[in-house]
Structure 1
Amino acid sequence: EKIGVDAVVNPRMTTASAILRFIRKGKIISLTLLKEGEAEVIELIVSPYSKIINKPLKKTNLPQNSIIGAIIRKDEVIIPHGNDIIQPEDKIIIFALSSDIKKIEKIFDGGKK
C-alpha cells in the first residue's frame, strides 16, 4: 500500500535553517541550506538602505558565486537579467555559497535595520 510520501525531510537541516534564519541580519523571510550547508537559498526583503537598489544588476558587487533567481515586486515575479533594477521592499530569492552570505547580507541590508 502506498503512503503518499513525496518528500524527505531532514530534521537536522530543517533545524539549522530555522536557527540561521533567526540569527541572520536584515529581513530574511526564508532560508534553506543546500548540500549539507555548503550553499543557501535566501528569500529576503530589500532594505531601502541597500547598496543594490536603483542600479542595474550587472553593475552590482554581488559575489561571483551568487545568483539572484527571482525578484518579486507586488504581484509580479521577475526572472532577472543584467539590466533589471531592484527596488526597496522587493522580495529577492538568492542562491549563494555559504561563504558569501555575510557579503550578501551587507549589500542588501545597507547597514541599517
Structure 2
Amino acid sequence: MPANWAPLQKLSNGRVEWPTGPMTGLHPNFEPTWVEAWVVQSTTGANPADTILAGPSQSTAQSSWTGFTPNQWTAAEPGWKSGDFYAGPALGISLLAMRNKTTGDHEFDWWFQPITLF
C-alpha cells in the first residue's frame, strides 16, 4: 500500500480542508500522478436502536503533483460536498494513480482508513 491517511484531519466550515497523509511504501520506480480522496461520516440516529443514517460526504483531488511535500499526498482541489462534517470519527477513502518511470505504464492503488475530524 503506497499511502495512508493522517489520523487527524482539519475541518473548515463543515468541510475537510485539505485531506492529506503520508506517502509510504511507494516503489522508487513509480511516481504519483494524481490522487482522489473521499471523506464520509455517519450520523447516529436518536432512537434506542442507534440507527446509522446517511451523513456528510465530500470528494477532493490533486491532479498536479508539483509543489508538494516529499513523501506526502494532499488533495487540495475541491470536488463535491454533501452536508456538513462535524468533529468526530469518519472514514477516508483514496485512489492514487502512479506512473512507472521506466515503462510509462500507469498503476492504481486505493486505501481506506478510519480518521478523526477536528
Task: Identify the TM-score tier after normalising by the shorter chain.
Answer: 0.3 to 0.5
Pick the structure with more strand per residue. Answer: 2
- Report the TM-score, using the length of structure 2 for normalisation: 0.32
- Report the TM-score, using the length of structure 1 for normalisation: 0.33
